[in-house]
Chain A
Amino acid sequence: MNGIHDLGGMHGLGPVVREENEPVFHEEWERRVFAVLNLTLAAGQYNVDELRHAIERMVPAAYLESPYYEHWLHAAEDLLDAKGVVTEEELTRRAAEIVKRSSAEPGRAHEPPRAAAAPGSTPDAARKRGK
């Protein structure tokens, strides 16, 4: 599909950011998303091409404004829902529980899993440019 993922040749997305000694994961939630994706793949829930296509189907503006592992999370939620492994209602309920619990703990106010950055200017978005 001619989707937002196919950015090759587009202008205006900012420089490709190269980090010195870049960590494998920038946030703990990224490590978890990596595990969820790999284990659901290993469990035979879907293949890597279905995953890529699920990312391609993201709302274009949301794709550009979200970091790399959020794309993975979107794909997992989309496909696990489509295949009847979890329902959207279950996901929403569980997410609400976690938000409630973490905001109740002192010093652990809930923050969305996203670095504050202008749309398209995150390192992940910039890296995507050349992909």
Chain B
Amino acid sequence: MPALPKEQVRAAIRAGLSARAEVATPPRFKAGERVVARNIHPLGHTRLPRYARGKRGVVQRHHGGFVFPDTRAHGLGDQPQHLYNIRFEARELWGEGASERDGVYLDLWESYLEAEGST
């Protein structure tokens, strides 16, 4: 990958660089939609935590397109996807002993998700 021009290094270290990227296809999900995190166990890098796999959640918002860590970690390119914020109820993740008010919010890439009832 190309080196950052010298005059941009200071700003990049202070503020970070954007991982936003254009995605050619329209987003598959919208806010309010019920989704299920796929039960995947890739041998490589993924940003989908184990405790969320196979769990149901609700789309809170569509963040836009972002580069895909699962391919970038292995030299397979940016392959941008739509990124969504998903709320998982604490009871869905941790069982009936968890608070019924709590939830966990995860930013998840589109290929991690299925529409609820689609599988």
Contacts A49-B72, A52-B45, A53-B44 given; indicate if A44 touches B50 (C-beta within 8 A): no
| A27 at interface, CB cutoff 8 A | no
CB-based A-B contact count at 8 angstroms: 52
User: Which residues of A, 78-124, contact B by the 8 Å Cβ criterion?
Assistant: none
Q: How far is the CB of A85 from chain B (nearest CB, A)?
A: 13
Contact pick for A52, options B1, B2, B73, B93, CB 8 Å = B73
Q: Are B45 and A47 in contact (CB under 8 A)?
A: no
A sample of 11 more A-B contacts (CB under 8 A), given A1-B42, A8-B50, A44-B4, is A1-B43, A8-B51, A9-B93, A38-B9, A39-B9, A42-B4, A43-B4, A52-B69, A53-B44, A53-B73, A53-B74
Contacts of B4 in A (CB 8 A): 42-44
Specify which chain A residues have a CB less than 8 angstroms from the CB of B1 in the assembled complex: 44, 46-47
**Closest residue to B104 on the A side, CB-wise?**
A8
Closest to A9 in B: B51
